[in-house]
Amino acid sequence: MQTIQLTIITDQTDTILPSNLSDKPPRIATMHSYLLLASLLGLASAAPTSSTDIPRQWTPQEPGSIPRHSGARGFRLRVNVTDPSLDLTPPVHNLFLSTAHIGPAQNRAIVSYSGPIFYQNGSYSDIANYRAGILTDAGPPESPFPEAIQYQQGSDDTKGSELFINAGTPGAGTAISKLTMPYSTLQILEGAPIVKSFIVCGNTTIPYYGESRKFEVVNWLGATRDSTGTHLRVPEGCVAVNLVPECAYEFVDLPEGAAYDRTFVNDVRCYESVAAIDWSKYAY
């Protein structure tokens, strides 16, 4: 496999946090090296193919040029099909990221009509070192346990690689994009390989559920599918999506005696209603 050389570019607009704060939870999620990703992705000029645009670099603009947002600790992740003309049959635009329960370390990310509440967990140093995670509470309400969004090179390369929501270590670099980006979306800011786009693939079987049940699964494309430098080849039967946080204020405290706590849960930038955003009003 190809090795990807990373150069960390510090975003000067971010406050560099003193190390003696590193055990405190940040109140607003920020990622220092978003510009790394933006600059890696925004290099070349357009060469049209049947594929998806890689996000361009963006500098903060006047208020009103981006959708109005709020802040919350809990959020659901809405599937946003970035080119609606390519949506699947049946459509997946504005559905939610959810999970197909299979068993330990195998719960696949899927699309559903409702989705669990996620949250971003990590200290300042976790965030600076790409070790924050996007988590959700699983299990019965009286004895919950955390599950994290995870990714790894999947076996089915024809449809991208698989995304999981499992107990265990969060996927490195998984975070809600920082405040200097135009839109708030789920991003994977570092990892091997680099995740360049999420995709949803229709009519997919998951072995545990047998051959007859079909899912819309959420997969991802890595750097190896980067054909031209600006466009990714989206596999047949799949569509490029962003996962956009919708504020979930009903995010609850954990029961007494839970094995983990909310100390390091971050506020993230989220939207009141993703489906209500008229994206055509925004220039990006």
Ligand X SMILES: *[C@@H]1O[C@H](CO)[C@@H](O)[C@H](O)[C@H]1NC(C)=O
Positions touching ligand X (CB under 6 A) are 80-82, 84, 88-89, 121-123, 126, 135, 146, 183, 185, 202-203, 237, 242, 244, 260, 264, 279
Return the number of the residue (223 or 258) whose C-beta is nearest ligand X. 258
* Shortest Å, Cβ 41 to ligand X: 14
Return the number of the residue (5 or 85) whose C-beta is nearest ligand X. 85
State the virtual CA torsion across 130, 134, 138, 143 in degrees, nearest 10.
60
* Shortest Å, Cβ 72 to ligand X: 17
* Shortest Å, Cβ 152 to ligand X: 18
Return the number of the residue (1 or 140) whose C-beta is nearest ligand X. 140
Query: Residue 214 corresponds to which amino acid?
Result: K
Report the SS3 class of residue 258: coil
Exposure string over 51-63, b if 16+ CB within 10 A, otherwise e: bbebbeebeeeee
CB-based closest residue to ligand X = 202
CA distances (Å), origin 122, targets 206, 234, 249: 32, 32, 19
* Shortest Å, Cβ 202 to ligand X: 3
Residue with tokens 């509440």: 117
Who contacts 91 (Cβ-Cβ below 8 Å, separation ≥6)?
81
For residues 162 and 185, the answer to whether their CB atoms sit within 8 Å is no
* Shortest Å, Cβ 212 to ligand X: 12
* Shortest Å, Cβ 3 to ligand X: 28
Return the number of the residue (36 or 128) whose C-beta is nearest ligand X. 128
Return the number of the residue (4 or 131) whose C-beta is nearest ligand X. 131
Return the number of the residue (7 or 124) whose C-beta is nearest ligand X. 124
Helix and strand numbers (H, E) in the chain are 2, 16
210 Cα distance to chain centroid: 28
Q: Choose among 44, 253, 284, 18: nearest CA to 177.
A: 284
